[in-house]
Amino acid sequence: MHKFFYGNNPRSNKPRPTPIVRPVNRSKEQLKDFRDFISNPRTSQDAKKRFMVEKAGGYCSMCGDIATQIASYDMIDATLVEKYCDICLARGIN
């Protein structure tokens, strides 16, 4: 049933948009400091979440690590923005 429905769906025949990938500007030393802060067991989860959103640039959409790349998809009426780390980006977005 699932394969039959989605195989015949005319909306699924549209090509996927290609993302525009741009790096987050930060140095290797900053990234190391961010990882040290996140891995510190004395830091509370709330402080880590605030830090990730405000300073680090956000989470990876796939694994939850510190995002180092931003992919933006231009849709018909909107732009979808997703953040990825280098490891997940190397695995492939699409």
Question: In this structure, what token pair is assigned to residue 84?
Answer: 């990825």
The residue that leads in pLDDT, 15 or 94, is 15
Residue 1 scores a pLDDT above 70: no
Establish if 43 belongs to a structural domain. yes
Establish if 47 belongs to a structural domain. yes
CA of residue 10 relative to chain centroid, distance: 29
Establish if 41 belongs to a structural domain. yes
The pTM (predicted TM-score) of the whole model is 0.65
**HSE-up (13 A, CA, CB side) for residue 40:** 13
Establish if 52 belongs to a structural domain. yes
Report residue 64: phi and psi, to 5°. Answer: 90, 5
For 13-38, what is each residue's pLDDT tens digit? 666 678 888 888 888 888 888 888 88
Establish if 3 belongs to a structural domain. no
pLDDT at 42: 92
User: Domain range holding 45?
Assistant: 17-91
Sheet with 20-23, edge to edge strand ranges:
20-23, 69-74, 79-84
Q: Say how many domains are in the chain.
A: 1
Establish if 9 belongs to a structural domain. no
